[in-house]
Chains A and B, each alone.
Chain A
Amino acid sequence: MTVIDQRPESSPQASGGDVRGTERMWVQMFRVFLSNKIAVLSALYCIGVVLFCYVGPLFYHSNQTDASSSILYTNLPPQKGFPLGTDYLGFDILGRLMFAGQSSLELGFLAALISLVVGVGYGVLSGYRGGWLDALLMRIVDVMLSIPGLFLLLAVISIWGRSKTLLILVLGLTGWFGDARLLRGEAIALRDREFAQAVRAMGGGSGRIIWRHILPNTVSTMMTVATFALANSILALTSLGFLQLGIPLPETDWGTMIQFGSQNFQIGCWWQIYPVCILFLLLVISFNYIGDAMRDMFEVRLRER
């Protein structure tokens, strides 16, 4: 870290938090990301999908809630007034993609947020404390990780049933086990570094070390973890929707659309399945490319160390 060497009067805080080093690191990481053309394209696609779902309905009005008036228009092929046709309930597909996308993205985002907070807290606590607590907490993670995720989700849904809030909680609380393990490793690597010892020597408590020194140093791990958490929770939610165990009607999500679309393909309604499949597949691929690019950025940071 040449930056620090140029500042002989640097405080221990600066050597721990790496204020100027961090700035340079961010710029460097961002450049690595930008040099990955496919990742940039993927990021643009994701932004595009978010805008499509939330800004789209402002410009494109369609009935998505009143089933009694839509029933006149069931299974119409693409035509004037319905650019992508209608579904089995008579709802406009283009508007349906936005409407379903909103719940998929919202639930996925909230679930990912919960799993990130829980996973980071759990992992950092386990790694920082160490000892018997660490052993206990990690054995619990071992147990949870050996249960196939979808089975765990269905087990919880079979007891509590399904509603929007419950789905968010269930997806969030069953998605953080791997994250916790990663963050635990980070915390173990950081807790005895010089800057943490310096804080301890000056009488700083564990809370300060974790909050001001360990967490800021795990930001890039957290970003990678967050990307995959978001991808995973949207994917799990869509799988549940596809199994017809997701958001109950009248709301809908992409998985439910894919399920009913594939059923109606047999009677020739191709417009009910292709758009949603293409939109969702590209989204999943984009997430994977962004995740990979994030990991490359992360490597840059490891080289820095």
Chain B
Amino acid sequence: MIGYLFRRLMQGIAVLFGVSFLTFLLPALEKGNVARAVLGNHASPLELKEFLHSHGLDQPFFVQYYHYMIGLFHGNLGTSLNPQTIDEPVSQVIAPYVPRTLWLVLISILFSTVISVVIGLFQGIRRNTIFDHSMTFLVFLLYSFPAFLFSTMTIILFSLTLHWFPPAVDSPTANGWFSPLVQMWNHPNQFVLPLATLTVLGVGGLTRFMRGSILDTMVQDYVRTAKAKGCSPNRVLFRHAFRNAVLPVITILGLSLPALFGGALITEQVFNYPGMGQLTVQATEARDVPVVMGLTLLVTVATVVGNLLADIGIAVADPRIRLTGKR
């Protein structure tokens, strides 16, 4: 198992090196565009030159990369170019937003896993019944729904027409204080629609996968053996089939992280939730390149770490991997 996890860890680190090179490369190649995004199109050549010099963008490529990587290891992602937060360290601008998005994503993963495992399990048992067919249709519908359309339509239906839930999460107070858990505890109804949107995003794909996984395991030899030796149907299902069918869900969860973060970006923007997604949109509008690059890097780190955790989870739960290091 150690060897398997070590290989995975190395792959993850290699990916992060690649991404950090990309987040360095894009602005470095297009430093003229970056400068003009800040100074405006009518900046004089002298101003451009001074800007490049003061941000260290006129140095040789590898010197810049060296400084960038040294900074990265010290948690230094450069300074913001947004007029409102000009020259503040990017890490300081981003830091308060990170836990907010992570909470949102984690809670929705929990919900969507429970929901889709239950639905997928029942679909697998009651195959080709009316329940199975109607669920397949419903899940396909949810699977097709783009995040922005689903959130818009839930707002229109549940918030603006039926007035059940508020259409937005309260903005942070004037001093910028906003704790997702406190907010969730005090105003749970503000979180119903955003969490529902993110959960539905996950449920579509997961349920389809879980149904297939159950159907696959039910025809395996060990299930037939269990039946033949006289296990009760429930014991066959839960002791023998379910445990094997549910394992790959962990991997799928890890793989669905990029889509989930993309969905969180849209959801945060729609429900005015002050997380990394909303910050990314604001920074893109303000053309605050360092902040956007820092956020992209951070979200990718979260994705890679999530995938690693999924690998560890699988390795711990599945003796075939624990003992042989192969899958």
Contacts and interface: CB of A to CB of B under 8 A. Distances in A.
A300 B11 CA distance: 36
B117 to A, nearest CB: 23
A143 B156 contact: no
Interface size classification for chain B = 35 or more
Nearest to B141: A285
B280 A154 contact: yes
B22 interface: yes
B218 interface: no
A244 B281 CA distance: 9
A281 B149 contact: yes
A145 B281 CA distance: 21
A151 B262 contact: yes
Contacts of B143: 288
B37 interface: yes
A158 interface: yes
Nearest to A285: B144
Interface stretch (A12-20, A205-213, A234-242): A234-242
Contacts of A67: none
Interface string B279-312: 0110111011100110110011001100100000
A231 to B, nearest CB: 9
B28 to A, nearest CB: 10
Interface stretch (A52-60, A69-77, A258-266): A258-266
Interface of A: 139-140, 142-143, 145-152, 154-161, 235, 238-239, 242-245, 255, 258, 262, 265-266, 273, 277, 280-281, 284-285, 288
17 contacts: A143-B15, A145-B258, A146-B258, A146-B304, A147-B22, A148-B259, A154-B284, A155-B23, A155-B296, A158-B287, A158-B288, A239-B148, A243-B266, A262-B155, A265-B160, A277-B152, A284-B145
Interface of B: 11, 14-15, 18-19, 22-23, 26-27, 30, 33-34, 37, 140-141, 143-149, 152-153, 155-156, 160, 257-259, 261-262, 265-266, 269, 280-281, 283-285, 287-289, 292-293, 295-296, 299-300, 303-304, 307
Given A143-B18, A151-B299, A161-B37, 5 more contacts: A142-B11, A142-B14, A147-B299, A159-B27, A159-B37
